[in-house]
A = this chain, B = another copy of it.
Amino acid sequence: MANAALLACDWGTTNLRAWTLDAHGRVVDHKEFDLGVSKLKPGEAARRFEAEVQPAFAAQGLPAILCGMVGSNLGWTVAPYADCPAGLDELARALVAVEAHGTWARIVPGMRSEGLSGNPDVMRGEETQLMGWLAQNPDRCRGRHVVCHPGTHAKWMLVEDGRLARFVTAMTGELFAVLGNHSVLKSDAPADDQEAFAEGLAAAGDGDALAARLFTARARVVGGGKRAESTPSYLSGLLIGSETASVPRLLGLSGEEPVALLGDARLCALYAQALARGGVAHETFDGEAAAVAGLFALYQLGQAA
């Protein structure tokens, strides 16, 4: 612990992941806290941070940097969205200072993009992973790149010359959860049936008419004799296949551009299968490592500012 130089936090809706980093950005220690901002009362974030997070690392004296929903009105303080296009420099200039036992502490703003139908799209947390990914892969700071961050609210991000130019959110993970828990497609079975997943990918078509394609998850059991236990895997394939086939076009892309998958390894592997089926080149990057790299890079730039 002696060489910890920074307390870095990805503080989201459902939990808080924190790391101490040394002066070179290497992880010294890591802990998770059941402190998602959705579980906090108004004004509670600062107090819980000082009372639980800093002491857990004996990190009261360390500078701290935090990203995610902690910068929303549910969190510590509102860090106003930075507008696309923006890169590491713009985000670093937009860090919001908070008080934490009197030490340097900053909250990373979320980002806002021109969205579909005239309403802005927003993110909080994924921008930090993206900036970390760019810091880890300087070759991606030139030209145009497509990055997908799978999740409850998946983000498809268009990067141009090292800055996030535009993004769109797809609530694929949430659709999977609500349909699997509350609809006629409800099931307690695990989504671990490879064959049914591939069948779902094939049933996604080009990502149109989802409400009708979803009913095939029912019809294949009721009318086609497939096992009801395979429904979650089929549903997962259908939803992810629909997303990968259609969402890139909303960013003005052809859908054939290579995709960098950035996030949870298990989810990225499912998206990789969907992209492979569509003949789309892809590469997978670890989201947690990118978050750490992004927080460290923002800290360095923010301190210099």
Contact = CB atoms under 8 A, between A and B. Distances in A.
A177 to B, nearest CB: 8
Interface string A86-126: 00000000000000000000000000100111111110000
A252 interface: no
A119 B211 contact: no
| Number of identical protomers | 2
Interface string A216-251: 101110111010000000000001001100110110
Contacts of A247: 209, 211-212
B249 A219 contact: no
Nearest to A115: B219
B115 A223 contact: yes
Contact of A183 (B81, B174, B223): B174
A243 B211 CA distance: 7
A115 B112 CA distance: 41
Nearest to A223: B120
A182 B178 contact: yes
Interface of A: 81, 112, 115-122, 153-154, 156, 168-172, 174-175, 178-179, 181-184, 199, 202-203, 205-216, 218-220, 222-224, 226, 239, 242-243, 246-247, 249-250
